[in-house]
Amino acid sequence: MAKVKKVPQRTCVGCGKVADKRDLIRVVRTPEGEVLVDPSGKRSGRGAYVCPNRDCLSKAARGGRLFRALETEASNEVIACLLEELPD
């Protein structure tokens, strides 16, 4: 009998939807304090997950939930860079 492997679940900080980890985009605060989109999901640092659309990222940034989850300060330049890095 084959074992069924559990797929990790994560919550989007923008809309609150629970989805498979692979279906969400990870945003990470590196140990150096830089905030980046992490397409591999393996980069070192504190992470938060958002749905792969601009609406959820904007909603998470506007409400302050993204930066609260990353435990860092918010800036408009960081949000603009994240929106550019987000895959379409």
The reported pLDDT for the residue numbered 19 is 95
Tens digit of pLDDT for each residue in 6-27?
889 999 999 999 999 999 988 8
**Can you list the domains of the chain with their CATH numbers?**
9-85 (3.30.1230.10)
Tens digit of pLDDT for each residue in 27-80?
899 999 888 888 888 899 999 999 988 888 888 888 889 889 999 887 777 788
The reported pLDDT for the residue numbered 88 is 62
- For residue 40, count CB atoms less than 10 angstroms from its CB and return exposed for 0-12, middle for 13-18, buried for 19 or more: exposed
Residue 76: Cβ within 10 Å count: 8
For residue 38, list its beta bridge partners: 26
